[in-house]
Structure 1
Amino acid sequence: MRDGKEDREATNRPGGEHHEQMDWDAPPPYEVYVESQGNNMSAQVMDDGRFSMQITGIEQGFTLPPIPAATPESLWKNRPQSAPRSYPELNIVIQVVGSRGDVQPFVALGQELKAAGHRVRLATHDMFASFILESGLEFFPIGGDPAELMAYMVKNPSILPTLETIRAGDIAKKRKMIAQMLDGFWKSCIANDPSTGVPFVAEAIIANPPSFAHFHCAQALAIPVHLMFTMPWSRTRAFPHPLANIQVTKADPSTTNFLSYGLVDTLTWQGLGDVVNHWRRHTLNLESVPPMVGPYLADALEIPFTYCWSPWLVPKPRDWPSYIDVCGFFFRNAPLYTPTPEIDRFLKSGSKPVYIGFGSIVMEEPEKMTQIIVEAIRTCGVRAIVSRGWSKLGSGISDEKILFIDDCPHEWLFKHVAAVVHHGGAGTTACGLANGCPTTIVPFFGDQPFWGNMVAAAAAGPRPIDHKLLSSDALAKAISFCLLPETLYAARKLSFGMKSDSGVKEAVQSFHRNLPINNMTCELLPKKAATWVWSKRKQTVKLSHRAAAALVECGHIDVKDLALIKTKPIYIDVRRWDPFTATTSAAVNSIGNMGSALSDVVQTPMREYRKAQTLSRSESGNSNTANAVGKATSASLGKFGSALIKTGIDLPLAFADGFRDVPRLYGQKVRDHGPISDWKTGGVVGGKALAYGMYDGYAGLFKDPYKGAKKEGAAGFAKGVATGVAGFMTKNANAIFGFVAYPALGLYRSFEGRESTEAQTMILMAQKEYGSYLAHTESVDKEEVAELVETFEDRRLFQI
């Protein structure tokens, strides 16, 4: 017989039955050319994986959020000023997609978090298992091959795949790999350690944005999520998105920079939205994210961000909010390394060499790149160490002034070279600059051109050379530029400033600073994380596994009064512009959700029937088949009913939000009534909408003409009359629809939180298994139990 643990693992197996309905061969729905007539914006995909953007003019009335007042901290450093608060010891999963250069900074972060008392699991590609385990961290495999991903990106640097790629079936392969990694990331939150079998349930998530599972896993678990990355991913006026190549425009540069982030996010979501939403529905039992919301989730949810680059190289933009930090590059503790005799002999046999290497880049013509490198070195008359990398450079070359090497820690090697030439990965760039090495960057795709431009702006190297334009002559000139005294001076000046950074330490402080500590801390054992909330007669106490187990065991509380705590619930609300587009969008989304739910009514029971039949044949019995099909039918009918109820709420809600947001279109501020999480907050927001809507609507009839006349005379008075009348109609409509829709949404979310979905059942099972494990490993003596009971009673009496 299978136990609950086996069912949980089978249900959540990467690439399992939940994904059988996906059309993997369908190309992602990208638009080659995106254009907005209203604001004269266009974006065209380039061959290097970036977007060529033109913004020729901005529609009158278009406004950007105000820029906060400049302070030395926001312009330069970003160090926390307040005293550190106490925090509980947490189970943290770090989710990372990418090459070794992407993973390595998070190993350094994980070591610092572990030193702070947390249990840290790093979830990434299987090939990095030994690297992570040797660093003293727990490892969880997510699948996916970073070498294949890198080869795909070099072969298809544009976001649009080539015809050759489509013919070869690479699209289906890549999309299946992404689906496998999404499932792997979900398992990394609740599955046992694959090596030791020790249970684990995530209490916080740290991730790099390309892992894509972060928001959604955090929403399913109702825990905090914190994004950390090596390149800008948050909207700013200071510089464009690294994946955007801004053309000369008539628009203000800061406006162009700001808008570039939205365009890149939209095109990125177009390529992954269907895969992510399929996984949300069938694995996490969450609603699909609407197309107009998906690209902007980080901004809408105000997700904390920590950027791991040095503010000496790129200062924090002053239009970034307080929950976005720039903390410095993440450097791990330098590994103990003894050079091979070959490397040691080469370094001692002459002047400092130049380092050339392209790490995890997988090239289609490594022989051609090798020839370019060799000719450039000979032209400059320098000595060089060349890393073979994943492309295996240097085959068949023999030259006493050139040493081809395999893997060697950059932290050690860059202390012994005169300059570095590489692809522009953030980690390699950081290591070179930290060691005062003048740097030439040869970008292939992604954010690599951005780092090349930042190095050039700091005068620590020449302008980046696109790999397709690289020649032996261009490379020789770049190396010569790096060897100039003034270039060396600029690089060493940067290195001197970076030595004052404490990247991983400040990142850990940033993580702690953004945690909802009050919701996460056990009220009886402050160093333990709260997992349960005890609730009885309007009294509530947040309890850890240890505290809850002790109180239940001594008979002081009943287990039926415990519920899993939601430390950071996530609600995805749709931003509206007007009632007409709002209701149209809501209707389309509702039809899609109901269609998906109706499809599940047919397909889910059939899937369970086939699974049960296979199981019964292997176990010589079929008594469970009808039961499994019945449960699946009941669950799918429940989902359809839920989708039907949600449709009845979404349409009036879209009207309410649409009418509320109309004044934004002509520059007026809109009241924010606060979030809706349950029936109580829904009632409060509904009441506010009615009261403020009526008041603002009538008041606007008099205030708007008066303000307009005071500002622009007769013309302003006429405009004020128009906006006053428009506000009277829209704000009163919001008051009426909102008074019904907002409480209904709160009531729905209250019941939604109590619904036992497959994913919620898996979380509860994982928590019980983890609690049982702790009970056997953490003994509680009678004295501690007595102290827990006394503290518990004090908490209860305080609430009476």
Structure 2
Amino acid sequence: MASDANSEVFELPAETVVLPSLPAAAIGHSGVHMDNDGRVSIDWESSFVRRFSKLYRSPLLGRSTIPPPGYSELDPRSADHPVQSPASSADYSDSVVNLDKSWKLTLNIVIQVVGSRGDVQPFIALGNELQRYGHRVRLATHDAFENFVTSSGLEFYPIGGDPADLMAYMVKNPGLIPSIESLQAGDIQRKRIMVREMLRGCWRSCVDPDMHTRAPFVADAIIANPPSFAYIHCAQALSIPVHLMFTMPWSSTKAFPHPLANMSGANGDTGLKNYISYGVVDWLTWQGLGDVINEWRKQDLELDEVATFEGPHLAEILKIPFTYCWSPALVSKPLDWPSYIDVCGFFFRDVPEYVPPADLEAFLAAGPPPVYIGFGSIVLENPEQVTTTIIDAVNAVGARAIVSKGWANLSGTQHHNIYFIGDCPHEWLFQRVAAAVHHGGAGTTACGLRYSKPTLIVPFFGDQPFWGAMVAAAGAGPDPIPHKQLTANSLADGIRYCLSKHAAAAASNIAQKMSSESGVHAAVSSFHRHLPVDRMQCDLYPSQPAVWSVSVPKSRKKLKLSKFAAEVLVKDRLIDQKSLNTHPIKPFLIENRRWDPITGGASAVMNTTTDLTGSILGTFYKPIQEYQHHQRDHEGRRSAIMASNASVESASTDTGTGRVAAGAGATSSKTKAQSDHGGGKLFVKMAGASAKSLGSFIPTALKGMTVDIPLAMTEGLRNIPRLHGEEPRDLGQITGIKSGFAAAGKGFMWGMTEAVTDIVVKPVQGMRQDGVMGAVTGLGKGMSNMVSKSGYAMFGVLIYPSAGIAKSLHTSIHSRTRKSIVKASRGEGEWMLESGQFTGTDRAQVVAGFHEISKGKKRR
């Protein structure tokens, strides 16, 4: 989590919302232990990790990639990698201008950010850059940052959650597993409620009107940092592109372990262990939040639940574009990251205006540049002891220092060589110091290196040890000192290293490379490059994204229409609004993959059994949940009424005491009447919740026996060839009845054909590769394929159409979310037409284009 309001790039808030529900003792027996610095110790020799590695590496490890080039002056228009700008700033400016002129498609973009002010700040810079391309940008984050966002010229949408509360929780619980004190205090349940609130806020940020202007808004694309968690699910509901941006490695790689993981064990390939560490951390995260996310998906988005294996790895399974916002001069792009993952450079904002107080100016002028020491928003248990340590270390070195008070309120009596400072922009201050000592947030680290400052990192939790290690590896600072090991001697040694010529040269080398980068520009280029532009553009008004499709009268051609174009045609009665169909820009199909019929069938049986058990138990606990929900609503109304009465009483001097008392009494009587009336409604709701849960038993059982379990076994048979390195046939996505029958036909034709031919083909292929032994191995593969492929071919004739029918039924029954999206899109189209942002010429262009296509003419 970002730890400093003055940091100019966003920092990691992920660990603040990673709240696994598994008890620490249970995880300990599996070879996974929690450290005090917020990271996970993973024992490679444990049976759990060994089994997990075999499962995790199978679908993801073997991906083929084009290795990225070494560090160079990168062109933001590159086809594969957004790299640094040309060496000449003038050249880069020209390239940006050319890129601006070439980009014509304007979108509604929602940026979802969970974290502190330091996490939000760089996305403001990103949002302002996106606005220069004509995009409408909404930044969805915590309520506390409304003024911060709106003052920058961006739209704001509140998603709930308290960033200060999240930081306080992480200071108390630096690891993934909460302390006993947190459990007893109820912190975990409060954080889970907060996550649920933020998920719902993120969804509303995609479809709700502007909070102030009431201008309609439906997102055409989503940009998010991973801790917001809602991005993929919102994108799936809307069928729009999503793009992740972060400053901490979150994608599996052999190059280095997950920053929240410590891999132990002497045996095993280091690269493989690094790679598996990402899967373990993702798995732990999903264990803590998977149920919250799935409940939200079902209730708010009307989407199917995500399976246990797919849930932790959705970004990699779905190949979500990812832009990492750090300098490749500090951490280069790993060779095994695919082309949809970019490294673009840090996000820097313009240096803010700052007028220093006179005593600060006097201190800076009184001697050589001081050393900066500060820990941002870290809350220290014993600030007095840390202050003493800092003073002793500075005096031992014989240096001068500026000490940031921060959230810990470090302070003491003023010394001739030490100045205690309050809020001050790092961009201004770091140009005037000799070195920097801090907690290792990405923002503070980047700012120091940008101004050639050797850096000593004292990490507390999360990604901070990672950045400390990266700075030390580059020679721009000593090895990081964990905060619990900080002493006057260790701090003094670290400061001496930072003041050495070697450290200064290393920091200067990094700064020189960073000076040619423009992270925000490259990030926008990366975002644009990964958009499916051809599918997004309206056929009649190409600068607007298509959200509708319609069949042209007297023609088989389908048109992609924007909200504006569709509304023009509807108003001019050229098409009927009932003929408009939603146009999915980027469909996401999240399926539970089955690796073999045994585990697949067993998993499906277990899931069905769990659902059936939940239906029965729900008859008892669902009414209780309904009662608790009613109580929370009642308390909320009661608080509002009390606040209202207090406001009325405060006006008693103007209105008269008697009338105030009468008004308050009337309000009290009304509240009591409402409460009495609400009791009957509450009983009905509680009874309804119980009946609904019990009533879901039979449909759940039928679906499990006729669709889920047979489909899992059939898909398991289809995937058996994966076990010996063969990629099974892609039958296409089953989204309804038509696609279900299509999959059945393809599966039967290909399955039966290959079941027969593989008996001959596989031995021949084996003979060519490995001689006689290869032929024997090939014969085994052929026999295995004969059983598996003929099996899925025969079963699929019945199962795939059933799955398609089930999908169609689910879509027809659960249509509330889809209808709300349609309504919101129509509303924005009407608003566009009436707001005056489009001219008569624009309308004429749409109408003329429609007439041309209706007459069979090709558009120029």
SS at match of 2:41: strand
Give, in whole Å, the separation in 1 of the partners of 2:71 and 2:818: 41
1:236-247 map, 5 Å: 236-247=253-264
Higher mean C-alpha displacement, 774-783 vs 46-55: 774-783
1:453-464 map, 5 Å: 453-464=469-480
Q: Is the 8 A contact 2:20 2:284 kept in 1?
A: no
Query: Cα distance 1:634–1:169, how it changes in 2: closer, same or farther (>3 A)?
Result: closer
Q: Is the 8 A contact 1:419 1:439 kept in 2?
A: yes
Give, in whole Å, the separation in 2 of the partners of 1:752 and 1:700: 38
Match of residue 576 from structure 1: 594
Report deviation, 1:743: 3.9
Match of residue 382 from structure 2: 365
Match of residue 144 from structure 1: 161
Give, in whole Å, the separation in 1 of the partners of 2:697 and 2:71: 49
Match of residue 293 from structure 1: 310
Match of residue 38 from structure 2: 49
The yes-or-no answer on 1:543 pairing with 2:553 is no
1:334-387, CA deviations, whole angstroms, 9 ceiling, x for partnerless residues?
Answer: 222222323222222221111111112122222222222222112111111111
The yes-or-no answer on 1:700 pairing with 2:718 is no
Give, in whole Å, the separation in 2 of the partners of 1:89 and 1:718: 59
Q: Is the 8 A contact 1:75 1:317 kept in 2?
A: no
Query: Cα distance 1:430–1:339, how it changes in 2: closer, same or farther (>3 A)?
Result: same
1:673-726, CA deviations, whole angstroms, 9 ceiling, x for partnerless residues?
Answer: 443344444444333322222232222222333444455555444433332212
Q: Is the 8 A contact 1:74 1:318 kept in 2?
A: no
Match of residue 663 from structure 2: none
Q: Is the 8 A contact 1:704 1:723 kept in 2?
A: yes
1:528-578, CA deviations, whole angstroms, 9 ceiling, x for partnerless residues?
Answer: 222322246654222222222221112111111123332222211112221
Match of residue 21 from structure 1: none
1:88-103 map, 5 Å: 88-103=105-120
Report deviation, 1:155: 1.4
Q: Is the 8 A contact 2:736 2:804 kept in 1?
A: yes
Match of residue 655 from structure 2: none
Give, in whole Å, the separation in 2 of the partners of 1:786 and 1:193: 29
Give, in whole Å, the separation in 1 of the partners of 2:339 and 2:188: 39
Match of residue 513 from structure 2: 497
Query: Cα distance 1:761–1:620, how it changes in 2: closer, same or farther (>3 A)?
Result: farther
The yes-or-no answer on 1:737 pairing with 2:795 is yes
Query: Cα distance 1:512–1:71, how it changes in 2: closer, same or farther (>3 A)?
Result: closer
Q: Is the 8 A contact 1:335 1:409 kept in 2?
A: yes
Give, in whole Å, the separation in 2 of the partners of 1:166 and 1:606: 21
Q: Is the 8 A contact 1:30 1:271 kept in 2?
A: no
Q: 1:291 corresponds to which letter in structure 2?
A: T
Q: Is the 8 A contact 2:65 2:339 kept in 1?
A: no
Q: Is the 8 A contact 1:33 1:42 kept in 2?
A: no
Matched pairs, number: 769
1:9-48 map, 5 Å: 28-30=21-23, 32=25, 42-48=31-37
Give, in whole Å, the separation in 2 of the partners of 1:751 and 1:534: 23
Match of residue 19 from structure 1: none
1:211-236, CA deviations, whole angstroms, 9 ceiling, x for partnerless residues?
Answer: 11111111222221111111111111
Give, in whole Å, the separation in 2 of the partners of 1:154 and 1:46: 13
Q: 1:70 corresponds to which letter in structure 2?
A: P
Match of residue 649 from structure 2: none
Give, in whole Å, the separation in 1 of the partners of 2:198 and 2:68: 41
Match of residue 572 from structure 2: 554
Give, in whole Å, the separation in 1 of the partners of 2:677 and 2:827: 29
1:487-636 map, 5 Å: 487-535=503-551, 538-593=556-611
1:305-346, CA deviations, whole angstroms, 9 ceiling, x for partnerless residues?
Answer: 110011111111121111111111111222222223232222
Q: Is the 8 A contact 1:27 1:171 kept in 2?
A: no
Structure 1 segments unaligned to the other structure (5+ residues): 1-23
Report deviation, 1:632: 9.7
Q: 2:560 corresponds to which letter in structure 1?
A: K
Query: Cα distance 1:195–1:347, how it changes in 2: closer, same or farther (>3 A)?
Result: farther
Match of 2:281 among 230, 254, 264: 264
Match of 1:332 among 304, 329, 349: 349
1:375-774 map, 5 Å: 375-394=392-411, 396-535=412-551, 538-593=556-611, 646-647=703-704, 648-774=706-832
Give, in whole Å, the separation in 2 of the partners of 1:636 and 1:581: 28
1:398-427, CA deviations, whole angstroms, 9 ceiling, x for partnerless residues?
Answer: 223222222211111111111111111111
Match of residue 277 from structure 1: 294
SS at match of 1:237: coil
Q: Is the 8 A contact 1:579 1:655 kept in 2?
A: yes
SS at match of 1:351: coil
Match of residue 5 from structure 2: none
Higher mean C-alpha displacement, 780-789 vs 74-83: 74-83
Q: 1:460 corresponds to which letter in structure 2?
A: A
The yes-or-no answer on 1:81 pairing with 2:83 is no
Higher mean C-alpha displacement, 365-374 vs 496-505: 365-374
Match of 1:192 among 209, 221, 232: 209
Q: Is the 8 A contact 1:532 1:543 kept in 2?
A: yes
Query: Cα distance 1:75–1:732, how it changes in 2: closer, same or farther (>3 A)?
Result: farther
Report deviation, 1:450: 0.7
Higher mean C-alpha displacement, 66-75 vs 295-304: 66-75
**TM-score normalised according to structure 2 size:** 0.82
SS at match of 2:394: helix
Query: Cα distance 1:496–1:315, how it changes in 2: closer, same or farther (>3 A)?
Result: same
RMSD after superposition: 3.5
Query: How many percent of aligned residue pairs carry the same amino acid?
Result: 46
Query: Cα distance 1:748–1:76, how it changes in 2: closer, same or farther (>3 A)?
Result: farther
Higher mean C-alpha displacement, 69-78 vs 725-734: 69-78
Query: Cα distance 1:495–1:733, how it changes in 2: closer, same or farther (>3 A)?
Result: same
Report deviation, 1:130: 2.0
Higher mean C-alpha displacement, 264-273 vs 57-66: 57-66
1:83-162 map, 5 Å: 86-162=103-179
Give, in whole Å, the separation in 1 of the partners of 2:234 and 2:243: 12
Q: Is the 8 A contact 2:449 2:507 kept in 1?
A: yes
Report deviation, 1:142: 1.8
Give, in whole Å, the separation in 2 of the partners of 1:285 and 1:413: 50
Report deviation, 1:496: 0.5
Q: 1:691 corresponds to which letter in structure 2?
A: M
Query: Cα distance 1:27–1:316, how it changes in 2: closer, same or farther (>3 A)?
Result: closer
Q: Is the 8 A contact 2:196 2:292 kept in 1?
A: yes
Higher mean C-alpha displacement, 743-752 vs 324-333: 743-752
Q: 2:580 corresponds to which letter in structure 1?
A: L
Q: Is the 8 A contact 2:734 2:803 kept in 1?
A: yes
Q: 2:534 corresponds to which letter in structure 1?
A: N
Give, in whole Å, the separation in 2 of the partners of 1:212 and 1:74: 32
Give, in whole Å, the separation in 2 of the partners of 1:771 and 1:604: 42
Give, in whole Å, the separation in 1 of the partners of 2:77 and 2:609: 48
Give, in whole Å, the separation in 2 of the partners of 1:633 and 1:567: 39
Give, in whole Å, the separation in 2 of the partners of 1:187 and 1:496: 43
Give, in whole Å, the separation in 2 of the partners of 1:121 and 1:377: 46
Higher mean C-alpha displacement, 676-685 vs 150-159: 676-685
Give, in whole Å, the separation in 2 of the partners of 1:189 and 1:588: 35
**TM-score normalised according to structure 1 size:** 0.88
